[in-house]
Structure 1
């Protein structure tokens, strides 16, 4: 009996295996600007796109592995930061940003066929949309009452189902819900843009390769409402190594705040690493959302939503190193100090230390008196918002070590008052 001859010719494995389907979530329902942003990226072509009712739900789908990533709106140039997205990022266990998308935003007023402006009594849309079309609505439908919706597409669904008369949304949304535009281009500010982030959970998916225009983002929670910790942000913005960093602060929904910091460049670049380290020193608890390709071209000074150039930070960093070198060596190169000069300067330091210690003792007594008054009236011993302001002041005046010095001083005062 003959042994059958095996066919040893290689068969291409890719031809036998089905191509895996990629899955993405977005803030829905269908017809939102977020869906439009998701469909603009190459990865979404031929993929399964799943709408989610909230940013938290969309990101949860990514973290559970139900989808590969979620597209979320984060900032509009007119209406500002989207609080729901920042809260979702802050609450997620390990979010990471894969890429950024920026879209131009134009709104239309969508109605059921045959509805006239004079008959409109209720208008619905996302609160961010209301901030961008409020002037137009006041002029053209002053009789209409505003009803907020989780998304503009949800507002369109309400119009379709007869729950309200008109919706503020993109003109492209009309086809999804059988509506028609009663007016287009109703935004108060021309050229507005919205920034979106494609987010996944760490380790689940890799993003596009790094490019010349990259960003690194961080998010963290702070004690105190935004209006109470504005001094801290002002100090951060004035710091020479953080002037190219974009900072966004929103309420966290309770008594605190959420901070989103966008740094130009990648974490493996020295200027960016220094800026990130400085931010974490000033704001303990900031965690990285990763480095990712930015939608803005660093060479295009008219690019939308580009509050900084990645090279501003590098220039600041290089100038600082040059100044440090000049201060150390002098114009003519390094020089050996005389022993008597060192002795004289050390005497000055001793005098300054004695003065500082006396001032610290006075501060301890004053802190003890203030905290005694607070606790005597039933309040807490520590005012978190006040402490954040003090950290910001020290960081602004003393540089990288200032925040650490302030923390040591605050801990000393808290310990003294509790005895």
Structure 2
């Protein structure tokens, strides 16, 4: 099996893939962005992709949500939670007061924001495409820079670990989803992710009417989040997780009824937890 992930080697996405039984013996394929990893599945270049979708500190990963919402040729087939601990890495030993720039993916920069303000208050925060890219860039530089990434990335790219466990919450964890081509067999689903949007989303009570389809049938929602509906200012797409698979009649009926209120409803996946 070929598994695409946000690369290069040394990212938390790679750690999640390496920790998963479903990827045992798989060929791991690093991609430049989350969207590229998902597209690799859609184009048949990879059998599955593992992508981060939600963090316990920083919330949802916008690029994952938006990419999944825009594609009908892939589906979520599983989820996985990875405890996440961050390392501060530089090319050489540096005192915290010497660090002029901290580089990482936007999610870890947010997950370590309080620590960074306390320990490197003068440092410029710079976004990178991934944690491993940040470590690779910093490790190759003579500048007094640091990166937030994994211990494995520091080992791979010759970095020096300056501090560990710098996340703001000790229970920091990231939820990943496994993405496969649409129609893939998922076994016994226990959870469903959907996205829906207008018409009528600018009228009083529209969202309540949409959500009531689940409430009146006793379907528990474990998450609801809005993202801008691109090209239409003031309009949104709503991402919802149901605590049931679509093989459950109540869940299937609720999603079917939701279509009567909406311009669009897309099932992102119905899958085991």
TM-score (norm 1): 0.59
Does 2:215 match 1:215?
no
Give 1:137 deviation, angstroms.
Answer: 0.4
* 1:282 counterpart SS class: coil
- Structure 2: where are the runs of 5+ without partners? none
Does 2:120 match 1:179?
no
Does 2:172 match 1:192?
yes
Question: Cα 1:283–1:175, aligned 2, differ >3 Å: closer, same or farther?
Answer: farther
| Contact 2:53-2:174 within 8 A present in 1 as well | yes
- Structure 1: where are the runs of 5+ without partners? 1-21, 295-419
Which of the numbers 87, 96, 99 marks the counterpart of 2:75?
A: 96
Task: Give per-residue Cα distances to partners, 1:221-280, cap 9 Å, x unaligned.
Answer: 55799xx79975566557634772121222355434332211111112112113323433
What is the 5 A alignment of 1:245-394?
A: 245=221, 246-252=223-229, 254=231, 255=233, 256-294=235-273
Which of the numbers 16, 33, 40 marks the counterpart of 1:54?
A: 33
| Contact 1:250-1:258 within 8 A present in 2 as well | yes
Distance 2:69 2:61 in 1: 13
Distance 1:63 1:198 in 2: 13
Instruction: Name 2:215's counterpart in structure 1.
Output: 240
| Contact 1:224-1:257 within 8 A present in 2 as well | no
Task: Give per-residue Cα distances to partners, 1:105-142, cap 9 Å, x unaligned.
Answer: 21111111222222110001111112211111011001
Instruction: Name 2:132's counterpart in structure 1.
Output: 153
Distance 1:98 1:133 in 2: 30
Task: Give per-residue Cα distances to partners, 1:308-359, cap 9 Å, x unaligned.
Answer: xxxxxxxxxxxxxxxxxxxxxxxxxxxxxxxxxxxxxxxxxxxxxxxxxxxx
* 2:122 counterpart SS class: coil
Question: Cα 1:158–1:90, aligned 2, differ >3 Å: closer, same or farther?
Answer: same
Task: Give per-residue Cα distances to partners, 1:44-68, cap 9 Å, x unaligned.
Answer: 1111110111121111110111110
| Contact 2:93-2:162 within 8 A present in 1 as well | no
| Contact 1:110-1:179 within 8 A present in 2 as well | yes
Distance 1:276 1:251 in 2: 21
| Contact 2:136-2:153 within 8 A present in 1 as well | no
Distance 1:116 1:83 in 2: 34
Task: Give per-residue Cα distances to partners, 1:76-122, cap 9 Å, x unaligned.
Answer: 12111111011211222322111100111211111112222221100
Question: Cα 1:127–1:252, aligned 2, differ >3 Å: closer, same or farther?
Answer: farther
What is the 5 A alignment of 1:57-206?
A: 57-162=36-141, 165-203=145-183, 205-206=184-185
* 1:43 counterpart SS class: helix
| Contact 1:108-1:170 within 8 A present in 2 as well | yes
| Contact 2:198-2:261 within 8 A present in 1 as well | no
TM-score (norm 2): 0.88
Distance 1:193 1:99 in 2: 17
Distance 1:251 1:28 in 2: 27
Distance 1:108 1:126 in 2: 13
Kindly indicate which of the two structures has a greater share of residues assigned to helix: 1
Higher relative contact order (CA 8 A, sep 6+): 2
Distance 1:31 1:92 in 2: 27
